[in-house]
Chains A and B, each alone.
Chain A
C-alpha cells in the first residue's frame, strides 16, 4: 500500500532563516506531487505541483521554492522565511498518468506545522 511521509512534524524558525520541508511517498511510481499551505482558519492553497523529476509548476509567486530530486521525493524550501510563511504545510500525491495532467484523488501526508517568529 502507498504511504506518504512528511517531516518535520513541527518547526519553529526565526524570520530570515532558511527552510527545508521534505515529503516522500512509498508504494507507487511516478506520482504527481503537490505542496499546499493551510493558514489558520482558511482553506488550502496550492503552492507547487510536479508531474515528474525536476518538473515543478508554481501556482503562487512567493519566496518559496520546490524541488523534486527523486521520483518520490518532494522538497519545499525557502532561503529567507517571512512571518507570513507560518502555516500548516501539506504534501499530497495522486496517481500519475503517462500523458500528464489528469486530476485524480489526492492523498495527503500528516502535515508540517511551521511557526515563523
Chain B
C-alpha cells in the first residue's frame, strides 16, 4: 500500500537560515508528488509538484524539492526562511491514474527571530 512519511512532527529554524523538510514515500512506481502548505485555520496551498522530468522542482515562495528515486524521497528546501513561512507543510503522493492522494501527517515549521 502507498504511504507517506514525514519524520519530523515539528521543526524550528531561525529566520534567514536554510530549511529542509523530509518526506519519504512508499510506492512501487514513480508517483506524482506534491508539497502543500497550510497556514493556521486555512486550507492547503500547493507549493510545488513533481510528475516527471527534471528531479529538481521549483515552486512558489522560493521553495524547491528534489525527487530521489533511490531514496524514495521528495524533500522540500528553502535557502533562507522568512517568518511568514511558519506554517504546516504536507507532503503528498498520488499514484498516477487514481484519485487517492495520500497525505503525510505534516511537519509544523516554527521560525524564530
CA distance A102 to B51 in the complex (A): 12
B99–A49 CB distance below 8 A: yes
Return chain A residues, CB-CB under 8 Å to B97: 101-103
A43–B34 CB distance below 8 A: no
B43–A105 CB distance below 8 A: no
Question: In the assembled complex, how far is the CB of residue B45 from the closest CB belonging to chain A, in whole angstroms?
Answer: 7
Main secondary structure of the interface of B (DSSP, over half): loop
B99–A101 CB distance below 8 A: yes
B94–A43 CB distance below 8 A: no
Tell me the count of chain A residues lying within 8 A, CB to CB, of chain B: 26
B42-70, CB under 8 A of A: which get 1 and which 0? Answer: 11111001000000000000000000000
A105–B105 CB distance below 8 A: no
Which A residues have a C-beta under 8 Å from some C-beta of B?
6, 32, 34, 36, 41-44, 46, 49, 51, 57, 59, 90, 92, 101-103, 105-111, 113
Which B residues have a C-beta under 8 Å from some C-beta of A?
4, 9, 32, 34, 36, 41-46, 49, 90, 94-101, 103-106
Q: Which 8 pairs, one residue from A and one from B, show the smallest C-beta to C-beta distance?
A: A108-B43, A103-B94, A43-B105, A44-B103, A108-B44, A43-B103, A110-B43, A49-B99
